Structure 1
Amino acid sequence: MIPYWRLSGYYFFYFAFIGAFSPYFSLYLQSIGSSAAQIAMLMSLMSVMRMLAPTMWGWLADRLGVRAPIVRLSALLSLIGFTGFLVSDTYAVLFLSMVFLAFFWSAALPLVETLTFAHLGDRVGRYGNIRVWGSVGFIVAVLGLGYLLDGLPVRAVLWISLATLAGILFCAMTIPEARTPPAPEGHVALGEILSLPHVRALFAACFFMSAAHGALYVFYSVHLVASGYSKSLVGWMWTLGVVAEICVFMGMPQLLRTYSLRNILIFSFVAAVLRFGLIGWGAESLGLLLFAQVLHGATFGAYHSAAVAAVNRWFGVRHQARGQALYGSISFGAGGMIGGVISGYTWERVGPEWTYSLGSLFAFLGLLVLVGGWRQRGTARDDR
């Protein structure tokens, strides 16, 4: 039996933390006098650790043959690491706390993705029905906190984020280990999988997609507030993007039956090129911003669902945890770090318009890599 609600609950709180932390922690850092470069560096530490930690934890999980205990340890140590933000707002303490938090927090999601697919077995189409609760958690957090911050000090971000981490820990304790089926005879070595052109193309394209989102996750809320929008509207804008994401997750079973993974990804990259240009140059038009947020359904919802499905398909039983970890490390880790750090240096030098234009360029480069490296011909079996 699939532990539907236990997995869904974990996703709910995991992404509720993101909804409370990612859009508003930069506002908190700004309120205590941090510069744009410091904000970008601190926020990018999450990506740095997502580049380093998941691969190590994925290797350990594959080595030990268990994932749930590592997920529980990750949740506990993440909660402990976050408490450093409550102790001091000096840059050194913030830096060390972020490193500790991010190292353990980033370990969990690839392993939970692996657990989810293991519990689903051949019912992969139901992934979206479980993952959608993460989007719901994000909406509850980002929208609720947006309204709260119109009347409460920005420091409230810390306490709400801490509460969501406690929720993650509670749910992590309830997720059962999934039985790992034996690897088939003559399994393919990890190095051989990584040498396949379409695998390398996917990972490279994912790097560029996350780099394209760097300025969004670091400065989107700052950008909207500076453009004259209220914090509650900021919450609604983030919510709109995730509502679009939810619609895509719910429709993924049909999309996967109708379109190939490759074509879903190509559409997502085209949407990203358009989206970041609109955010950068259309901030004065609420209508354009609304349309850009609807495109989040493609640039994250469809993109992520197709990417994890491809990794699940290509890496097999023996290398599943490391495959998902590599996807997270290369995309959200390395790509997110590069995109976030670069945006911190361009934001004050060339402005938000050109910073988001750089995001469009990253997405376009990802599109070229994907189309050129993952050719439909010769990989038809994997393309579906």
Structure 2
Amino acid sequence: MTTVNRFTVVALSLTYALYFGQLGVINPYLGVFLDGRGFTSSEIGELFAVITLARIIGPSLWAGIADRTGKILLILRLGCALTVMSFIGVFWAYSFWYLTLTMGLMMMFWTAVLPQLEVLTLHTVEGDSKRYGRVRLWGSVGFIVLTVLVGQGLDFFATETPIYASMLVLSALFISTLALQQPGTMQRNTTQKGSIWRFLRHRVVMIFLLVNGLLQVSFGAYYGFFALYMRDLGYSGMETGLLIALGVVVEVGIFLIAQRLITRFGVWRLLMLCLLATGLRWWVLGTFADYFWLVFFSQFIHALSFGLNHSSSMQFIHHYFPSYIHGRIQAAYIGLAFGLGGALGNFAAGHLWKQGSGAFVTFTCASMCAIAGGLLLLLLKPEQMNQRHPLHQG
């Protein structure tokens, strides 16, 4: 690797750390922040659902522009800059709709960043899955550090702590993108045009997206209410932060060996394992959350729920589809699975939660969604996910 490439890989690692560091602030603690501003659990679920829907609009819009112009780095920087500008409004947004609009705009720009960052990274490391894993794991490191720091901060400061931390992290994220470089091999697509629907409507792809969508529906209770759940059960902010961080620590480990696991067992088998294990995880949280050690060990499953599932899904996308539409396919994956699936999960969890009295029902329904994803995956044969798309041209 040349000196320039080494510097770029370091800059990419820092960008991942900051991007997912922000995820470590907003995902666990947005519910605490909203609760501090007086919102009910139903309102929290609805707000989560509305802003999560922005994941459908943002990634697809920006990915289409990036794929056609080839200016992926410019789109990446613009997305980060607009994220910071839109997030500023949170400091003055106290009404439900004003805060929803502000957070929705921020989410639309912020979620558009990741598909471009993934494409940029895969091209920079020239398809080297092991090197990609090493770069990507810094996202987990950033998540861990920010989750623990903000969790501890909540023990000493007000529930507004997450938004001040977010402002700092998002500003640093934009600055880090200024150090990135776009590989000269990345060019705009001038020969392949039109909708990607012809790729998405294939049976294997539709089941893949539905399975991941169900998995993200199941995450609604965890992302929206885990920190509040732990607080109501008497756990400190520091303990909650460490529990969340533990899940990501084991996720880092799985990223380091994910490629070997994918090579040995294949995408289908690993996705099935992730879905069934996640179902067990939510059932334990809903049933035995009073027992610290059971919650502690259930967090180890996060290595499968997110880490291995994400690596396997990325491998499927990178291998199954032609490279010229990777950006738009990843945007569709994030928009439909994380966006639509996440929004449905947030909305349902908010209405089932009932200020904490519905925790068991909420996590039981989450468990059933993950298991349903596993049952749906049975409609495919393992070898079907190791082939290439019928429209793949090279």
TM-score range for the pair, normalised by the shorter chain length: over 0.9
Residue 263 (str. 1) matches residue 250 (str. 2) = no
- State the partner residue of 1:141: 146
Find the counterpart in structure 2 of residue 354 from structure 1. Answer: 361
Higher mean alpha-carbon deviation, 281-290 vs 187-196, is at 187-196
For structure 1, the residue ranges without an aligned partner over 5 or more in a row are: none
Residue 381 of structure 1 aligns to a residue whose secondary structure is: coil
Which runs of structure 2 are paired with 1:16-95 in the superposition (5 Å)?
A: 16-95=21-100
Percent identity for Structure 1 against Structure 2:
27
Aligned runs of 1:1-384 on 2, under 5 Å?
A: 1=1, 2=5, 3-178=8-183, 179-180=185-186, 190-348=196-354, 351-372=358-379, 374-377=380-383, 380-381=386-387
- Residues 1:184 and 1:160: Cα distance change in structure 2 (over 3 Å): closer
Tell me the C-alpha RMSD between the 2 structures: 2.1
1:189/1:156 CA distance change after superposition, 3 Å: closer
How far apart, in 1, do the equivalents of 2:195 and 2:104 lie? 33
Deviations 1:186-233 (A, max 9, x none): 999844432332222111101001001011000000111111111110
Deviation at 1:47, TM superposition (A): 1.6
Write the deviation string for residues 32-77 of structure 1: whole angstroms up to 9, x where unpaired: 2111111112222332011221111111111112211111111011
Equivalent position SS for 1:153: coil
Contact 1:180 1:317 in 2 (8 A): no
Which amino acid letter does the alignment assign opposite residue 336 of structure 2? Answer: I
Is the CA contact (8 Å cut-off) linking 2:67 and 2:189 kept in structure 1?
no
Deviation at 1:376, TM superposition (A): 2.3
Q: Give the CA deviation at 1:361.
A: 1.1
Residue range with higher mean Cα deviation, 363-372 or 235-244:
363-372
The one-letter amino acid of 1:87's match is: W
Rounded Cα–Cα distance in structure 2 between residues aligned with 1:122 and 1:264: 21
Choose 163-172 or 122-131, whichever is displaced more.
122-131
Partner of 2:392: none
Letter of the 1:309 partner, please give it: Q
Secondary structure of 1:180's partner? coil
Q: CA deviation at 1:124?
A: 2.1
Q: CA deviation at 1:20?
A: 1.4
Superposition TM-score, scaled by structure 2 size: 0.92
Alignment gaps of 5+ in structure 2:
390-394
Q: Is the 2:32–2:227 Cα contact (8 Å) retained in structure 1?
A: yes
How far 1:241 sits from its partner (Å)? 0.5
1:46/1:106 contact within 8 Å kept? no
CA distance in 2, matches of 1:182, 1:80: 28
**How many residues are treated as equivalent by the alignment?**
382
List per-residue Cα deviations over 1:321-364 (Å, max 9, x = no partner).
Answer: 11100110111100000000100001118601110111111111
Tell me: CA distance 1:64–1:380, structure 2 relative to 1, closer, same or farther (3 Å).
Answer: closer
Partner of 1:24: helix, strand, or coil?
helix
One-letter code aligned to 2:237: K
